[in-house]
Each structure stands twice: as structure tokens, then as C-alpha cells.
Amino acid sequence: MTMIGAERPDTKAEPDPRAEVIMGVDTHLDVHVAVAVDHLGRRLGEASVPTTARGYEKLLCWAQDFGPVRCAGIEGTSSYGAGLARHFKAQGIEVLEVERPKRRQRSSRRRVKSDPSDAESAARAVLAGETSGVPKSGDGLVEMIRALRTARRCAMKARTQAANQLQGLRVTAPEELLNRLRGLSTKELVAVAARLRIGDDLRDVPSATKFALRSVARRYEALSEEIAELDAHLGPLVAQVAPELVSLAGIGTDHAATLLIVAGDNPQRLRSEASFACLCGVSPIEASSGKVVRHRLNRGGNREANRALYMICLARMRRDRRTQEYVARRTAEGKSKREIIRCLKRYVAREVYRVLIS
């Protein structure tokens, strides 16, 4: 492997002024490994660079020595490859998302697993037109929403754990303390436990239990304040990005944020509303046999987006008159509730897509 900055080997392919260079990059935390091929699939060379802005620039200069760079296939553009993808796009280089090769797709005879082989596979996937498509740009308001929502989800999970811990501590508390806390809701339990008075020394089980209850309750309150602060930023951001989306029936800030994050800052990268439906895991999969024509559940796609569409459908089935009429009509046709919801999710995905690209 060639480390950029070191002397290059003699086996490097000679530059061809007529050749277009296609790069494949296998991304990692500290080092990216790249392989360059020409438009005919001939291997030009390989290199390794550190994951820094200077390393990205050296990698691009290295590839341009072979000829004009047409595009780059990068693995993990939403994780380890995010910085490299942003740098290439800023330089006008087309970036395509490449899925990491699965084990069963590797040759059973060669059983090759190395960074250069993965990088070369990425380059050849670009040549064969087998890439996942244009990655998210990750440079706008939707990326801000994603970062804030990631922090909110973490805080929500921690708050739920704190509530469960409070309930567990109450169940095993000494009798006198248990009677005092018995029958309280989670909100009431937090309010009482956070204000428990404790002496200077923990001399017995009741005092230690009180200290633990107060500690967890105050953690719960701190997390609630953090969630409220994040919500105060998320609400205006979502409304600014897609005001028409939050105005649709059954779509609140949380569901709108989920769908925006799935589409990204550049929803135009999705070729059609069918692509968006597939991305959300609501595109029907045919499972017909003989005279039976049916479709089954799609277990692929983004499951958070799928859940958001499911919750939107449930909300509309309760409150939206148009949806209720549709459910009644399809029920009369013999459709089950599960099948009706699958149809509704597909319709909602189509409606959301039209709003996102407008």
C-alpha cells in the first residue's frame, strides 16, 4: 500500500491523459484506504491517508496525477467517510455511497478481506452502477436537526432508565419509606424523592436508600430540563425547514424531524416517491403464488421512518375523516387492518415526498 507523502513504487500505472479516474475508498476512524481505477476498470494504484483535511487534499492530488477524477465511491458517508465526502463535494467531485461488502458476497474461493480489496470493490461498484446513490449532503438545517435529535433520543432513553430505577428502588425500599412512596405516579415520585432530607452520614439502609432515590430523581429532573431545552431548538428548526410538513394531519415535530433526517438536506437525490417509500421500508413486496395475488411486509428501509409513518397512520385513523372513510371502504372490501395500514403508510410516504421536494 502507498502511504501518500512517501516515495511511490515503480509499479504505478502511467498517467493516461484520456483516462477518467474512478476512486474507491474504504473508510476508517484514523486512516482511509483508496484505490484508483480508470474508465476501463484497470487498476491504477492504491494509497492510504490520515483522516484530516490535509490528508484529504493529498488523496485528491494523488488521484488527479492519473487523470481527471470523474467520481468517488465512498463507504460510510454518514459515519467515518463524512469528512472525506464533504471535502470531495466542495472540490466539485461527484460522490456516491457504496455499501460495505457483505461476507456472503465475498468469493468463497479467495476469501479476501483487506482494506485495499474493499476499496477496489467500491471503485468497481461505481463502474458497474451498483452504488446506493448520492449520499446526504449533511451541510444544512436538516443536519442540525439530526444532531439535536440524536442528543434528545439519548436523553429520553436515559430519563426512561432513571424512571425505571426509581420504581425499582421504591419496590425494595424499607417498609416505612415504601409506605410513604406507595401509590405515587412517576411524576409525583420524582418530586417527592428529589426533596428527601438526608443526614450527613449514611448509617443505615433507609438513609442509603433515600440518598439513592434523591440522586436518581434529580437526574430525572436534569434530563427533563435538557429535553425541554432541545425541544425548544428543534421545534423552530423543523418549522423553518418544512412548514408544510408539520401542517399535514397527524404529523408533529418529532415525526417530521424523523422524515426530514431520512431524506437529508438534499431530498432531490431521491429519484422518485417510490425511492423514498423504499427508503422508509413501506414499498410493497410482492408475495404472489398461483392464483393468489398478495404483498407482504417490507422489513427493509429505515425503521425509524417506518415507525413514524405507522404512528401518523394511527393518528389519522383516529382523527382524520378522510382516512376513516378510506378505512371503512377497504374494510368492506375484505382487507384486514394490517393490510390497510400498509396501504396508508405508502400513501403518507407519497404525500410527504411531494412536500419535501417542493
pLDDT of amino acid 206 = 87
In tens, the pLDDT along 59-96 reads: 999 999 999 999 999 998 888 999 999 999 999 999 99
- Tell me how far apart the alpha carbons of residues 7 and 127 are, in angstroms, rounded to a whole number: 29
pLDDT of amino acid 219 = 97
Residue 264 pLDDT exceeds 70: yes
Residue 6 banded pLDDT, cuts 50, 70, 90 = very low
| Residues whose CB falls within 8 Å of the CB of residue 110, separated by 6 or more in sequence, listed in order | none
CA dihedral 199, 200, 204, 205 (to 10 degrees): 70
In tens, the pLDDT along 101-155 reads: 665 555 544 556 788 999 999 999 998 888 777 888 888 899 999 999 999 999 9
Q: How large is the average pLDDT for residues 238-242?
A: 93
- Which residue, chain included where needed, has cell 382487507? 335
pLDDT of amino acid 294 = 74
Is the pLDDT higher at 94 or at 12?
94
pLDDT of amino acid 354 = 93
Residue pair 186/216 in contact (Cβ under 8 Å)? The answer is: no
- Tell me how far apart the alpha carbons of residues 113 and 111 are, in angstroms, rounded to a whole number: 6
pLDDT of amino acid 184 = 92
- Tell me how far apart the alpha carbons of residues 144 and 27 are, in angstroms, rounded to a whole number: 23
pLDDT of amino acid 15 = 55
Q: Is the pTM of this model over 0.85?
A: no
Least confidently predicted of 92-106, 201-215, 231-245, 313-327:
92-106
- Tell me how far apart the alpha carbons of residues 329 and 319 are, in angstroms, rounded to a whole number: 16
Residue 197 pLDDT exceeds 60: yes
Residue 28 pLDDT exceeds 80: yes
Residue 235 pLDDT exceeds 90: yes
Q: How large is the average pLDDT for residues 38-57?
A: 93
Cell representation of residue 284: 410493497
SS3 48: strand
Residue 44 pLDDT exceeds 70: yes
In tens, the pLDDT along 295-332 reads: 777 778 889 999 999 999 999 999 999 999 999 999 99
Q: Which alpha helices (H) appear in 4-135, and where do they start and end? A: 53-64, 82-90, 115-127
Which residues are registered as beta bridge partners of 49? Answer: 32
- What percent of the chain stands above pLDDT 70? 92
- Tell me how far apart the alpha carbons of residues 16 and 94 are, in angstroms, rounded to a whole number: 21
- What percent of the chain stands above pLDDT 90? 64
Q: What is the mean pLDDT of the chain?
A: 88
pLDDT of amino acid 5 = 44
Cell representation of residue 182: 406507595
Residue 11 pLDDT exceeds 60: no
pLDDT of amino acid 292 = 77
Distance of CA 72 to the CA centre of its chain: 22
Q: Which residues of 89-108 are buried (b: 16+ CB within 10 A; e: fewer)?
A: beeebebbbbeebeeeeeee
